[in-house]
Chains A and B, each alone.
Chain A
Amino acid sequence: MKKLLPRLLLTPAVLSLLMWMIVPLVMTIYFSVIRYNLMQPDQTGFAGLENFEYFLTDPSFSVAVVNTLLLLGSVILITVLFGIAIALLIDGPFPGRGIVRLLLISPFFVMPTVNALLWKHMMMNPIYGVLAQVWKFFGATPIDWLTDFPLGSVIIMVAWQWLPFATLIFMTALQSMNREQLEAARMDGATYLQQLRYLYIPHLGRSVAVVVMIEMIFLLSVFAEIYTTTGGGPGDASTNVAFLIFKQALLNFDAGVASAGALFAVVLANIAAAFLIRMVGKNLDK
């Protein structure tokens, strides 16, 4: 009884997750070594490593990998730097702090498709968009964001969405700062820069790691923002690995090649995950 009960309670969750993980993985591995095109059912048979070769030598592939890393790196850099700055700024009482908090966190709850279209049309449209108007106001030529800086535009959208998340985490972390230590440092005449260097930044180290790891998981598979704005283009200029796999699977209907690509994405994500698991695991032991 003592052992049976917990197992009984645990089984449904574990079994369903196991299925959710194993079944697609096995199928993906299987699809990746056969000829499998949803539009050409007559083409069948074992393909060996052909699909992998096709996916990895596709000129779009290296572009997609670079784009994925650029997107990941830029958004993480922007959200961590600005997140810390904003968190420090609002760490302390001032009029309207509660409202500021609510307004700041809001973009995080906006669904990706709304985020994407809001920026694509109302902000970045080269004629009627708000940014174009601002540019004109200062006498500059408005930028056609999605054509000239497709990846940059996607980075702006995604960073706008994730900055609130980073800010919120840093804000939460700052609340657990040792106030007496800070007070003592101030009494001893430490300048704000010194406080930043020796007290705030070291204290935030752990939450920076958390933000980086979690954003890594979500940002490796940015999809909806690209799907609704640039469609990966122009050319492959804003295609990341997730979108490239989608293109192979549901636009070219080549499930075999897409599966080969998917396995690559899984490997990529697992490398990132290994770090996170280790970090959270340490936390669990405490």
Chain B
Amino acid sequence: MANQTSKRSKYPPALIVRTVAAWAVTLLLFFPLGWLMLTAFKTELQAISVPPLLIFTPTLENFSIVQERSDYMLYAQNSFITSVVSTLLGLMLAYPAAYAMAFFKGRHTKDILMWMLSTKMMPAVGALVPVYVMAQSTGLLDSRTALIIVFTLSNLPIMVWMLYSYLKEVPHEILEASRMDGATLWQEFRLVLLPLTLGGLASTGLLCLVLSWNEAFWSLNLSAAKSGTLATLIASYSSPEGLFWAKLSAASLMAIAPIVVFGWFSQKQLVQGLTFGAVK
């Protein structure tokens, strides 16, 4: 027996195989992104060198050129404003609705939830012409307002669902107790519900920030130079003339870095949100 335990080394072969395989797969899948990060710090010549360069002196000049040439800050500002405002607006619309359905469950609550989910199934392209025409006739084409409205509405079903699944878990007794003590609706929200559902509120917000920040269909079709988001700025680099890979990479890195880091922190909630709680 003692002999057996001493034979069992700290690293059994199965663990070594698993570790090597897992890291190999991970590095392979992460490679394109890692390569983008490397290229962002190369000169244009290094970026297209044959064979590809792995070791080089990093430069920061791409980042300043991107800012000068295409006014990165304006696009970043548009992305930031549209995603933050649409998330806040969405939360303000979704929280009361989710609250009403979680605590005043009626005969039609389930139908309403299902119907909301079904609006998310409407393909965006199905609404392209009407939304475009409406934006054009109201003068909202290429405005942040139009993007904010569209982002808010297309994320609203997911927000209601996520908040509903969090609010559902709050025991009714707590609310009843606070009502017995004479709490107003606002006090009930601020002092009881908000602390209890802060986590859910935060992760719902995070998910919507990610979705709005990365949204490309509406921003490509409804915005241009004035209200373009980072997704549209990057798309403008698709023109075939010239190989500006280092600058493209720098711009891309600046466009995705904030949200990738955001995503790392909210990955668990993201799964729940995107699957409407069907996988736990």
A259 adjacent to B26 (CB under 8 Å)? no
A260 to chain B, nearest CB (A): 10
With a cutoff of 8 Å between Cβ atoms, the chain A residues found around residue B280 in the complex are: 172, 176
B133 at the A interface (CB under 8 A): yes
Which single residue of chain A is at the shortest CB-CB distance from B121? A273
Interface positions of A from 89 to 138, Cβ below 8 Å from B: 89-90, 92, 94-97, 100-114, 116-123, 127-128, 130, 133, 137
With a cutoff of 8 Å between Cβ atoms, the chain B residues found around residue A259 in the complex are: 129-130
B22 adjacent to A105 (CB under 8 Å)? no
Known: A9-B99, A17-B156, A28-B129. A104 touches B32 (CB 8 A): no
Interface positions of B from 58 to 101, Cβ below 8 Å from A: 93-94, 96-97, 99-101
Which single residue of chain A is at the shortest CB-CB distance from B152? A16
| A105 to B101 alpha-carbon distance, docked (Å) | 33
A143 at the B interface (CB under 8 A): no
Interface positions of B from 7 to 36, Cβ below 8 Å from A: 15, 18-19, 21-23, 25-27, 29-33, 35-36
B199 to chain A, nearest CB (A): 17
Q: Contacting B23 at CB < 8 Å: which of A12, A13, A96, A176? A: A96
B278 at the A interface (CB under 8 A): yes
A267 to chain B, nearest CB (A): 9
Q: Quick check: which of B170-178, B190-198, B262-270 contacts chain A, the rest being far away?
A: B262-270
| A53 to B249 alpha-carbon distance, docked (Å) | 44
B126 adjacent to A27 (CB under 8 Å)? no
B243 to chain A, nearest CB (A): 7
Which single residue of chain A is at the shortest CB-CB distance from B131? A24
A15 to chain B, nearest CB (A): 10
| A116 to B255 alpha-carbon distance, docked (Å) | 14
A254 to chain B, nearest CB (A): 10
B113 at the A interface (CB under 8 A): yes
Which single residue of chain A is at the shortest CB-CB distance from B51? A133
Known: A10-B100, A117-B237, A130-B35. A221 touches B123 (CB 8 A): yes
B129 adjacent to A249 (CB under 8 Å)? yes
Using a Cβ–Cβ cut-off of 8 Å, how many residues does chain B contribute to the interface with A?
98
Q: What does DSSP make chain A's interface, helix, strand, loop or mixed?
A: helix
Known: A13-B93, A169-B279. A265 touches B129 (CB 8 A): no
B235 adjacent to A224 (CB under 8 Å)? yes
With a cutoff of 8 Å between Cβ atoms, the chain B residues found around residue A249 in the complex are: 128-129, 132
With a cutoff of 8 Å between Cβ atoms, the chain B residues found around residue A101 in the complex are: 267
A207 to chain B, nearest CB (A): 5
A255 adjacent to B126 (CB under 8 Å)? no
Interface centre among B27, B94, B214 (most CB of A within 10 A): B214
B125 adjacent to A223 (CB under 8 Å)? yes
With a cutoff of 8 Å between Cβ atoms, the chain B residues found around residue A223 in the complex are: 124-125, 216-217, 220
A279 at the B interface (CB under 8 A): yes
With a cutoff of 8 Å between Cβ atoms, the chain B residues found around residue A199 in the complex are: none
A128 adjacent to B263 (CB under 8 Å)? no
With a cutoff of 8 Å between Cβ atoms, the chain A residues found around residue B103 in the complex are: 6
With a cutoff of 8 Å between Cβ atoms, the chain A residues found around residue B202 in the complex are: none
With a cutoff of 8 Å between Cβ atoms, the chain B residues found around residue A107 in the complex are: 29-30, 32-33
B226 at the A interface (CB under 8 A): no
Which single residue of chain B is at the shortest CB-CB distance from A256? B129
Known: A109-B260, A224-B235, A249-B128. A13 touches B97 (CB 8 A): yes
A52 at the B interface (CB under 8 A): no
With a cutoff of 8 Å between Cβ atoms, the chain A residues found around residue B96 in the complex are: 9-10, 12-13
B114 to chain A, nearest CB (A): 6
Q: Contacting B126 at CB < 8 Å: which of A16, A94, A103, A266? A: A266
| A211 to B165 alpha-carbon distance, docked (Å) | 19
A24 adjacent to B126 (CB under 8 Å)? yes
Q: Contacting B129 at CB < 8 Å: which of A20, A31, A113? A: A31
Q: Contacting A106 at CB < 8 Å: which of B21, B33, B93, B128? A: B33
With a cutoff of 8 Å between Cβ atoms, the chain B residues found around residue A214 in the complex are: 274-275
B160 to chain A, nearest CB (A): 6
Q: Quick check: which of A147-155, A160-168, A183-191 contacts chain B, the rest being far away?
A: A160-168
| A270 to B267 alpha-carbon distance, docked (Å) | 28
A residues near B (Cβ < 8 Å) are 2-3, 5-7, 9-10, 12-14, 16-17, 20-21, 23-25, 27-28, 31, 86, 89-90, 92, 94-97, 100-114, 116-123, 127-128, 130, 133, 137, 160, 163-165, 168-169, 172-173, 176, 206-207, 210, 214, 217, 220-221, 223-224, 227-229, 241-242, 245-246, 249-250, 255, 258-259, 262-263, 265-266, 268-270, 272-273, 276-277, 279-281, 283-284
Cβ contacts A to B, 28 pairs, < 8 Å: A5-B185, A13-B97, A89-B21, A92-B18, A96-B23, A100-B22, A103-B30, A107-B29, A107-B32, A110-B214, A111-B255, A111-B259, A113-B238, A117-B234, A117-B235, A118-B249, A119-B32, A128-B48, A128-B243, A221-B124, A223-B125, A227-B235, A262-B129, A269-B126, A276-B121, A280-B114, A281-B110, A284-B113
Closest 8 CB pairs of A and B: A273-B121, A224-B216, A6-B104, A109-B263, A13-B97, A27-B130, A9-B96, A6-B100
A106-B263, A269-B122 known; 5 other A-B pairs, CB under 8 Å?
A3-B104, A14-B116, A107-B33, A114-B255, A221-B217
